[in-house]
Amino acid sequence: MARSVNKVVLIGNLGDDPELRYTGSGTAVCNMSLATNESYTNSDGEEVQQTEWHDVVAWGRLGEVCNEYLERGSQVYFEGKIETNQWEDQDGNTRYSTEVKALEATFLGEGPDGAVPGGGQPAQGQSPAPSQRRAGGQGGASGGGPPSQSGGDGQPGSDETFEPDDDLPF
Amino acid sequence: MARSVNKVVLIGNLGDDPELRYTGSGTAVCNMSLATNESYTNSDGEEVQQTEWHDVVAWGRLGEVCNEYLERGSQVYFEGKIETNQWEDQDGNTRYSTEVKALEATFLGEGPDGAVPGGGQPAQGQSPAPSQRRAGGQGGASGGGPPSQSGGDGQPGSDETFEPDDDLPF
Amino acid sequence: MARSVNKVVLIGNLGDDPELRYTGSGTAVCNMSLATNESYTNSDGEEVQQTEWHDVVAWGRLGEVCNEYLERGSQVYFEGKIETNQWEDQDGNTRYSTEVKALEATFLGEGPDGAVPGGGQPAQGQSPAPSQRRAGGQGGASGGGPPSQSGGDGQPGSDETFEPDDDLPF
Amino acid sequence: MARSVNKVVLIGNLGDDPELRYTGSGTAVCNMSLATNESYTNSDGEEVQQTEWHDVVAWGRLGEVCNEYLERGSQVYFEGKIETNQWEDQDGNTRYSTEVKALEATFLGEGPDGAVPGGGQPAQGQSPAPSQRRAGGQGGASGGGPPSQSGGDGQPGSDETFEPDDDLPF
DNA sequence: TTTT
DNA sequence: TTTT
């Protein structure tokens, strides 16, 4: 049995609007770049701000909901797990990029135009089977991910064709 | 004010013995490679095992304690935060490597020779000021870190000269 | 929308064997008493041990699995949420008892007779709709719960009639 | 060694203004009542809202900071541990009340008059030695705590004499 | 009532 | 590279 736990809790602000794509099989993938901030006083007595940038990815319905309700600057709580993807750069070197796969989200600020999701529990997403997971598609956040060719492994124009459901499940 | 949270909880097993070094200023740095496992049943009904490898770094006293009580195979609970370091590879490209900075540890299995720490709370570490943090020195774990020149920014022979305290504070 | 998070992470040891019952509608309920320990050195330099006892309840399949694989002394990781139930004592006073509703469990030690669950992810449970939740049935752990009449709101003899599945899903 | 973890993460809103008292030895104690909300759809298709009330206590500087920057309705993140206190009611019965001892707080909304704490990390508190802990003083939140005689074990008028520091450490 |  |  897996005697393991891999859990992440983040509260921060998005550095940019979410980027939604769809995989070839039609699964939504939402990439976000989240900043967490910490400050400390250095030896000269000056306050120094330290920002950590996190690549966050949300799959499926959770990804669509994030894309709809979050935007650059939004404050959000994510719960998820750490995943490191392996890929090859153009020189054939094995490279790694680490991201947080969001499994739950709680929106702490208002969305665009004051829109706010309408109901209950934290948003929860489904994700593809782990085997489907592979490197690619980091929306553009920091973190050393592979080159993000827009719509890389998804269908084109996904963002535009996204139709928000009227009955949000949360 | 920082309205941020950056928290990680891991339970897993070490893939190798911890590697302890000391920085030039004498701060202990312990690098560990931790596996978390998950399995799922694929569409063919076969159970597939998925392993995630985490670069974990513990600073100061916590690092020394980890080095003393943990070894390849040890099961351990870590609590900490995600940190992504930036560095340059030999071609001058900016690269990133992500690790978990451990702030607390709880040893869930026995240490070498059945040794077990002797007291109370979860082990806690101190760390250098964030400004001191920079890329370099990932002990050799996976994750695409910078080339680990042994003893890179520390004094030589640190591991050997380490003298465990008789009065462990935990 | 609920902009809330209610999350608990515990690692500790069971003070007694789990107690499994079934509700009238056939849902399994497993009550456990979990100790977490902390020690500190007081002003006289003596080490003082502090134990915190937690009432943990697991519903459904997760409860059955806990009942099968855990016993007095078992070390276990629980993740769940805090719930406070309201009830009336025999004098008609409103009383409260707080418990942790387990949503995930990871077994950190061996079970009875060295038995160990056989597969993947942390065990996960389903629970009844929150509306079904009410005070009652705390297995006998500390915490000021209501008087625990055996089989209080379940069918009689549940524990004895429990038939473990042959195909554990985890 | 304590191989234990006792950790709570809450995001919710205060149901009332914080209540600050001081113990006889001058330690600040801030009691708060925090609501976390969850909603679900029942079998009739109606959305039902479920609110969980948490007694949260913050000691020392953290308590003072909470008292200064939080008020009824404030959204806040708390991280801490579960503690169950034992006490005797007027009939001599042993009673228990459970609360969350906050160890860190992150303020997610603005404070009174738009005031916002001025710096870096999540607020952190110190607490008295565990031996000092005993039942008493739940500020008035739900949870079945002991009768809260105002100023129970503290000095009188603490709240009024509270002088906020000019140099907030966070 | 556990564990170390 | 771990663990089950």
Residues in A whose CB is inside 8 Å of some CB of C read 1-5, 7, 9, 77, 79, 106-108, 116-122, 170
Q: At which residue do the structure tokens 């600040």 appear?
A: D28
Dihedral pair phi/psi, residue D130, rounded to 5°: -50, -30
The CATH number linked to B76 is: 2.40.50.140
C-alpha D91/C-alpha D105 separation (Å) is 37
Task: Specify the pLDDT at position A170.
Answer: 34
Q: Which residue is nearest to nucleotide E1 (CA to C1')?
A: C15
Nucleotide in closest CA–C1' contact with B39: F4
Evaluate whether residue C79 is within a structural domain. yes
Given this model, what pLDDT does residue C142 score? 46
Separation between the CA of C167 and the C1’ of E3 (whole angstroms): 31
Q: What's residue B134's pLDDT?
A: 43
- Rounded distance, CA A134 to CA D105, Å? 37
Cα–Cα distance between B37 and A99 in angstroms, integer? 17
pLDDT of res. C122: 59
- In order of A69, B105, C9, C68, C152, the CA distances from C105 in angstroms are 32, 19, 10, 13, 25
CA–C1' span, B13 to E1, in Å? Answer: 30
Q: Which of A3, A7, A170 sits opposite C1 (nearest CB)?
A: A170
C-beta neighbour count of C142 within 10 angstroms = 18
CB-based contact A11 B2, cutoff 8 Å: no
- Test the D interface: residue of B1, B10, B66, B79 with most D CBs within 10 Å: B1
Residue B118 placed within a domain: no
Q: Which residues of D touch A77 (CB under 8 A)?
A: 11, 77
Within 8 A by CB and 6+ apart from A45, the residues are none
DSSP class of residue A66? H
pLDDT for D91: 84
Mean pLDDT over C35-39 rounds to: 94
What pLDDT score does A59 carry? 98
Q: How many CB pairs under 8 A join C and D?
A: 134
Between D83 and D153, the higher pLDDT residue = D83
Q: Name, of A16-20, A45-49, A148-152, C125-129, the range with top average pLDDT.
A: A16-20
Q: Average pLDDT of D23-30?
A: 97
Residues 6+ apart with CB under 8 A from A166: none
Contact partners of B by the rule of 3+ C-beta pairs under 8 A? A, C, D
Average pLDDT for residues B33-59, to the nearest whole number? Answer: 93
CB distance D121–B3 less than 8 Å?
A: no
Task: Please give the average per-residue pLDDT across C7-22, as a whole number.
Answer: 97
For residue A37, being part of any structural domain is answered with: yes
Q: Distance between CA D118 and CA B1 in Å, rounded?
A: 5
Report in angstroms the alpha-carbon separations of A89 from A144, B140, C38, D98.
Answer: 11, 21, 48, 54
pLDDT attached to residue D109: 67
Average pLDDT over residues B146-159: 39
Task: Please report residues of C whose CB lies closer than 8 A to that of B121.
Answer: 38-40
Question: Average model confidence (pLDDT) for chain B?
Answer: 75
Q: Which residue is closest, via its CA, to the C1' of E4?
A: D1
Cβ of C72 near strand E (distance < 7 A): yes
Spatial separation of the C-alpha atoms in residues D79 and D114, rounded to whole Å: 24
Q: What is the pLDDT of residue B93?
A: 86
Residue B144, pLDDT > 80, answer no
| B115 located within any domain | no
Q: What is the mean pLDDT of residues A78-102?
A: 93
pLDDT, average across residues C3-19: 96
Range C31-52 average pLDDT: 92
Q: Assess whether B16 (CB) lies less than 7 A from strand F.
A: yes
State whether the beta carbon of C139 lies below 7 angstroms from any atom of strand E.
Answer: no
From the list A11, A39, A106, the residue facing D120 with the nearest CB is A39
List the A146 CA – E1 C1' distance (angstroms).
Answer: 54
Q: Are D122 and D106 in contact (CB under 8 A)?
A: yes
Contact criterion met (CB below 8 Å) for C80 and C60: no
Residue-wise pLDDT for C100-135, tens only, equals: 999 999 999 644 444 444 444 556 765 555 544 444
Q: Inter-chain contact C4–D48, Cβ cutoff 8 Å?
A: no
Specify the higher pLDDT residue, C157 or A34.
Answer: A34
Closest-CA residue of chain B to C118:
B39
Instruction: Name which of D2, D13, D53 is nearest C84 (Cβ-Cβ).
Output: D53
**Contact between C63 and C108 (Cβ < 8 Å):** no
pLDDT tens string A48-73: 999 999 999 999 999 999 999 999 99
| Residue C130 belongs to a domain | no
Residues A91-116, mean pLDDT to the nearest whole number:
80
Predicted confidence at residue D121, as pLDDT, reads: 55
Nearest CB to B11; choose among A5, A94, A130: A5
Q: How confident is the model at residue B58 (pLDDT cuts 50, 70, 90)?
A: very high
Nucleotides of F under 7 A from a protein CB: 1-4
- Torsion A108-A109-A112-A117 (CA) sign: positive
C40 versus D82: the higher-pLDDT residue is D82
* Nearest-Cα residue of chain A relative to residue D119: A39
pLDDT reading at D44 higher than 60: yes
Residue D89: the pLDDT is: 86
Indicate whether B126 pLDDT > 70.
no
Q: SS3 for C62? A: helix
Report the sign of the C-alpha dihedral through residues A15, A16, A22, A27, in that order: positive
Q: Is the pLDDT of residue A150 over 80?
A: no
pLDDT of residue B40: 85
Query: What is the chain D residue with the closest CA to A76?
Result: D108
Q: Which has the higher per-residue pLDDT, A162 or D155?
A: D155
Check residues A156 and B161 and name the one with the higher pLDDT: A156
Provide the 3-class DSSP secondary structure of residue B21: strand
Separation in Å: E3 C1' and C73 CA: 7
Nucleotide nearest to B143 (CA to C1'): F1
Q: Using CA atoms, how far apart are residues C7 and B156, in angstroms rounded to an integer? A: 44
| Chains in contact with C via at least 3 Cβ–Cβ pairs below 8 Å | A, B, D
pLDDT top residue among A100 and A138: A100
Task: Please report whether residue C66 resides in a domain.
Answer: yes
Residue D165, helix vs strand vs coil: coil
D148 is a domain residue:
no
Instruction: Say yes or no to pLDDT of D102 above 50.
Output: yes
Lowest mean pLDDT segment, chosen from A1-10, A125-134, D20-29: A125-134
**CA atoms of D121 and D104, how far apart (whole Å):** 9
Least-confidence region, from A82-96, C151-165, D8-22: C151-165
Please give the residue range of the domain that contains residue B52: 8-107
Task: Give one word for C26, left, alpha or beta, with left for phi > 0 and alpha for psi -120 to 50.
Answer: left
Closest chain D residue to A13, measured at CA: D108
Which of the two residues, A29 and C121, has the higher pLDDT score? A29
- Better pLDDT: B39 or D100: D100
Tokens encoding B16: 């190798």
Give the confidence band of A92 by pLDDT, cuts at 50, 70, 90: confident
**pLDDT at A125 > cutoff 50:** yes
Distance (Å) from the C-alpha of residue A132 to the closest C-alpha of chain D?
31
Least confident of A18-32, C151-165, D4-18: C151-165
Please state the rounded mean pLDDT for residues A138-156. Answer: 43
A36 — phi, psi (to 5°)?
Answer: -115, 140
Is pLDDT of D79 > 90?
A: yes
**Could you tell me which chain B residue has the CA closest to the CA of D116?**
B1
- The tally of domains found in chain B comes to 1
Give CA–CA dist C64/C166, Å, rounded: 12
Question: A–D: how many Cβ contacts below 8 A?
Answer: 36
Whether the pLDDT of residue A153 is over 50: the answer is no
* Average pLDDT, integer, range D77-89: 95
Higher-pLDDT residue of A132 and D31 is D31
> For residue B1, what is the nearest residue in chain D, using CA coordinates?
D119
pLDDT digits (tens, 9 = 90+) for B79-116: 999 999 999 988 888 899 999 999 999 999 644 444 44
Beta strand C94-107 with C47-59 is parallel
Chain A residues inside the 8 Å CB shell of B2? 36-39
Contact at CB, B3 and D108, closer than 8 angstroms: yes
- If interface means Cβ-Cβ distance under 8 Å, which residues of chain B face chain A? 2-13, 35-40, 42-43, 48, 50, 52-54, 75, 77, 81-84, 91, 94-98, 100, 129-131, 142-144
Residue of A1, A70, A103 to mutate, testing the C interface (most C Cβ within 10 Å of its Cβ): A1
Yes or no, beta carbons of D5 and B106 under 8 Å apart: yes
* Least confident piece of the model among A72-76, A143-147, A157-161: A157-161
pLDDT computed for residue B125 by the predictor: 63
In a domain, D72, yes or no: yes
> Is there contact between C116 and strand F, defined as CB under 7 Å from any strand atom?
yes
Distance CA C128, CA B85 (A): 45
Residue keyed to tokens 């909880």: B9
State the nucleotide closest to C118 in CA–C1' terms: F4
HSE (side-chain half, CA atoms, 13 Å) at A130: 19
Whether D121 and B7 lie within 8 Å, measured CB to CB:
no
| B10-23 pLDDT, tens digit each | 999 999 999 999 99
